[in-house]
Amino acid sequence: MDKLTPDQQAELKKLSSERIRAKLVKAGYDEEAVFSFDRQMLLETLAEYTLRPAEKKVSETEIRQRELEMRERELRLHEAELAAEKEQREAERQQREAELQAQKQQREDEMKLRMAELEAQRLQRDAEMDLKKAELKANEQRFAEEQAFRLKQDTRHKAKDEEEQSLTTRVKKYSDCLKNVLPRMPADPGEMISFWDT
């Protein structure tokens, strides 16, 4: 680097590390080696290359060939990056679709569960209503039976009262009373005389 003129040194220092690497690779240096150099090493290597005699420099065709190879590598790298990016986008899309499908399935499951709960509640309400109707019907039937029994009893009592109040019943009652009080008429004609004497 010290063998260069101050202007050349200043010009080299102005170059960025990437630009220096590109020049060295273009000049025929090994790409991996160039990319492993630090800035100071890059400057030294470029200074040595600049000081070489013109005949030792790489020919224009070789430079063009290396440029084409580099361009081809860059294109392949770019294509690989695009393919990876496309795969990543596809994977993300599939993941989003899977998440949406899972959410949809979860909503459907929740809806089915809710519908099942509502159906169970409806069936329970229907069963309760049927039970209440059955109880009400049983109560009505029991009330009707009680009413019929009371009516029957009332009718029986009324009939009994009417029977007791009838003339025939009263005569029979009085005759039964007299039967126990008065002596009986004997069936034997010989005893008739004593019956009438008493």
Q: Locate the domains of the chain by residue range.
A: 6-89
Rounded Cα distance, 160 and 4, in Å: 153
Neighbours of 33 (CB within 10 A): 12
pLDDT digits (tens, 9 = 90+) for 152-171: 999 988 888 887 788 888 88
User: Beta-strand (E) ranges in the chain?
Assistant: none
pLDDT digits (tens, 9 = 90+) for 59-82: 667 777 888 888 898 899 999 999
Token pair for residue 25? 């690779």
What is the average pLDDT across 132-148? 94
